[in-house]
């Protein structure tokens, strides 16, 4: 991806998530990953239910995830956990409930409004061992060999240079540390009409790459024992797709092996 194109996409994501930060969970769940007025709550196909997860804070849940990465992250009491694309703090507060007072949680987000909302939620809870930092996943503002665990939820697919993002994750993790991320990946070719739509890009679809490429980039970054503990197909409703595709294009799409998947991936730094 060219530098100008990457910067344009980053700016689109930043602008859209600035708006999303000011919306409620209900408003965002009625959209497609909070991205735009594109589907009703009956088509809440990406998100998973956090309501019974320990440490869940409703005010921090904007309905933007596509999994629950902390379920597979093997977080321990006293760990230092980094959440990439921390939003309003949802996964950070879940991680904090596990690491306890002796641990530390660092949330990274590129949107000022998200950092402000996360800090407001933190202030209400009175937590002193969570740090929300404004930053870019392609240049994480954390020293090398800091984290025991990295988590991320439906964010890395929005990063233009995923190879750089995985390299940064490897750098930030301690030797012997590990990551668990939930993300959107593709099988087959995404139709050009969907690729062109910025709304779909921020809607967790058009920024995604092929599953095989995604896992290959992780391994090329140096991670070992890479596994996929959860793999779930996302079925986009015809009522959504027809907003971007002609009827003929939609019929052709249904004949292909194209698929969108929410995967949770685990990997270890040697």
The predicted model gives 215-222 an average pLDDT of 98
Lowest-confidence region among 103-117, 125-139, 166-180, 243-257: 243-257
Query: Using CA atoms, how far apart are residues 129 and 40, in angstroms rounded to an integer?
Result: 38
CA distance 255 to 270: 43
**Rounded mean pLDDT, 65-77:** 95
Q: Say if residue 117's pLDDT is above 60.
A: yes
- Between CA 102 and CA 106, with CA 104 as vertex, the angle to 5 degrees is 175
Stretch 64-81: mean pLDDT, rounded?
A: 95
**Sheet hosting strand 173-187, strand order edge to edge:** 130-134, 104-109, 80-84, 147-153, 173-187, 259-268, 224-234
For residue 217, give every residue at least 6 positions away whose Cβ sits within 8 Å of its Cβ, in sequence order, or none.
Answer: 162, 163, 166
pLDDT at 33 > cutoff 70? no
Instruction: Determine the pLDDT at residue 4.
Output: 63
Of 116-125, 151-160, 191-200, give the range with the top mean pLDDT: 116-125
Cα 246 from Cα 264, distance rounded (Å): 32
**Cα three-residue angle 100-103-107, rounded to 5 degrees:** 105
> In the chain, what are the domain boundaries?
3-268
**Per-residue model confidence as pLDDT tens digits over 224-269:** 999 999 999 988 778 777 877 888 888 888 888 888 899 999 999 9
Q: Are 208 and 186 in contact (CB under 8 A)?
A: yes
CA–CA distance, 181 with 37 (Å, rounded to integer): 27
The set of residues, in sequence order, having a beta carbon less than 8 Å from that of 255 and lying 6+ positions away, is: none
Give the closest residue to 194 by CA, choosing from 243, 244, 246. Answer: 244
Distance CA 122, CA 128 (A): 8
Average pLDDT over every residue of 40-69? 80
- Give the pLDDT confidence score for residue 44 in this predicted structure: 55
Q: Choose between 34 and 151: higher pLDDT.
A: 151
* Dist CA 87 CA 57 (whole Å): 13
Q: Considering only CA atoms, which of 141, 136, 89, 73 is closest in space to residue 110?
A: 136
**6-10, 50-54, 156-160, 215-219: which is most confident:** 215-219
Closest CA to 203 of 160, 154, 152: 154
Q: What's this model's pTM, rounded to 2 decimal places?
A: 0.84
Residue 72 pLDDT > 90, yes or no? yes
pLDDT at 196: 64
| CATH topology (fold) of 3-268 | Rossmann fold (3.40.50)
Could you tell me which residues come within 8 angstroms of residue 96 by beta carbon, excluding any fewer than 6 positions away? 55, 81, 103, 105, 127, 129, 130
pLDDT cut 70: percent of the chain above it: 78
- Whether 10 has a pLDDT exceeding 80, the answer reads no
CA distance 206 to 199: 9
In this predicted structure, the answer to whether residue 164 has a pLDDT above a threshold of 50 is: yes
Q: What local confidence, expressed as pLDDT, does residue 207 receive? A: 76
Question: What's the pLDDT band for 21 if we cut at 50, 70, 90?
Answer: low
Better-scored residue on pLDDT, 156 or 39: 156
């Amino acid at each position: 991806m060219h530098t100008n194109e990457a910067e344009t996409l980053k700016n689109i994501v930043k602008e859209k998530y600035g708006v999303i930060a000011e919306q409620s969970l209900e408003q965002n769940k009625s959209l497609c990953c909070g991205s735009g007025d594109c589907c009703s709550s009956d088509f809440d196909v990406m998100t998973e239910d956090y309501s019974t997860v320990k440490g869940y804070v409703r005010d921090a849940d904007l309905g933007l995830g596509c999994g629950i990465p902390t379920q597979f992250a093997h977080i321990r009491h006293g760990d230092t956990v980094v959440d990439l694309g921390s939003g309003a703090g949802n996964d950070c507060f879940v991680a904090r409930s596990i690491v306890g007072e002796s641990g530390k949680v660092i949330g990274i987000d590129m949107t000022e409004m998200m950092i402000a909302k996360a800090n407001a939620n933190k202030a209400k809870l009175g937590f002193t061992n969570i740090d929300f930092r404004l930053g870019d996943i392609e240049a994480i503002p954390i020293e090398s060999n800091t984290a025991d665990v990295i988590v991320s939820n439906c964010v890395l697919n929005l990063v233009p240079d995923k190879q750089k993002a995985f390299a940064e994750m490897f750098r930030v993790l301690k030797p012997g540390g590990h990551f668990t991320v939930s993300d959107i990946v593709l099988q087959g070719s995404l139709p050009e009409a969907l690729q062109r739509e910025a709304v779909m890009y921020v809607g967790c679809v058009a920024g995604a790459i092929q599953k095989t490429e995604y896992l290959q980039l992780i391994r090329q970054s140096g991670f070992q024992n890479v596994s996929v503990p959860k793999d779930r197909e996302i079925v986009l409703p015809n009522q959504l797709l027809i907003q971007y595709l002609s009827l003929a294009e939609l019929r052709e799409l249904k004949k292909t092996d194209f698929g969108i998947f929410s995967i949770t991936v685990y990997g270890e730094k040697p």
